[in-house]
Amino acid sequence: MHSFTATLAFAMGRWLIVLVVWLGVTVVAQASPDAQSILAASDEIRNPSRPFAVTVTLLEYRSAKQSDENTLTVYSKADNTSGQFRTLIRFVAPQRDVDKLMLKSGNDLWFFDPASQSSIRLSPQQRLLGQASNGDVVTVNLAKDYRAELLGEEDTADGERVMRRSYKLGLAAVSPDVTYHRVEMWVDATSSRPIKARFYAESGHLLKTAYYRKFQPQLGRERPTEVVIIDGLDPAWVTVLRYSDYAWRDVPDAWLQRDYLPRFKPG
């Protein structure tokens, strides 16, 4: 009898272990979020779902002293085919740059100067705004350009120095046309808000760190209204991007091409 009980207990124990392991795997599988979905949810917070316009003010600091300031109006619209944004940027200040335009549609990048009436194709490496690359200013759906991998969960300080439980994502470029080869991104585990990101060159060195902060209700959601960019080589080189005057604003598809640039004059 004792032997039977012991055998039964042993068999039940084995089944119990199998059950526990199976349950554990199932629970873990259900709890483990999909990295690409986390990134897409974070994109939705940064980028409104419909065509919009926003004013971006760039304040640049070198060694704690303000070295430059630019103001731009950004018009963004998602391409129906690729899902990626097409962006038209109008320079508003300083005075010498007023009405200059930059058009970015994928890697089709044009700069227009109203004075000379000339549209010049730019390479992605050409920067018009100091430390900020063209890719920092235009609207980008990261989930379209990068393959995300969940690197772990950790507590990280956000742009307001508050500790947040976050998903740390590793983003690998799926297209050679993107601005950054590799990105590390921290996304709030509760709200899907982007917290910060580190952008790397193909060589592996850190290009810049960005903090997303000052979340405010804009166009139907809480969105970051400030991004602080810190240079990877010179941490005393800081650019503050402030987003204001969000508005739903559509522009016809035909306007988002080089030959329309001389005519772009929003009313």
Determine the Cα–Cα distance for residues 53 and 64; give it in Å rounded to an integer.
Answer: 30
Residues 65 and 199 sit within 8 Å (Cβ to Cβ)? no
Minimum distance of another protein from residue 118's CB (angstroms): 6
Minimum distance of another protein from residue 240's CB (angstroms): 5
- Adjacent-strand bridge partners of 240: 59, 228
CB nearer to another protein: pick between 33 and 114 = 114
Minimum distance of another protein from residue 18's CB (angstroms): 25
Closest CA to 138 of 71, 86, 78: 86
* Ordered DSSP codes for 199-249: EE-TTS-EEEEEEEEEEEEETTEEEEEEEEEEESS-TTEEEEEEEEEEEE-
Minimum distance of another protein from residue 79's CB (angstroms): 10
Closest CA to 112 of 100, 130, 124: 100
Minimum distance of another protein from residue 21's CB (angstroms): 22
CB nearer to another protein: pick between 30 and 267 = 267
CB nearer to another protein: pick between 14 and 121 = 121
Q: Tell me: cis bond preceding 217? Omega within 30 of 0 counts.
A: no
Contacts with 179 (C-beta within 8 Å, 6 or more apart), sequence order? 124, 133, 134, 135, 136, 140, 199
Residue whose pair of structure tokens reads 């329309």 in the numeric block: 260
CB nearer to another protein: pick between 38 and 256 = 256
CB nearer to another protein: pick between 116 and 190 = 116
CB nearer to another protein: pick between 94 and 220 = 94
Minimum distance of another protein from residue 9's CB (angstroms): 21
Closest CA to 90 of 256, 231, 224: 256
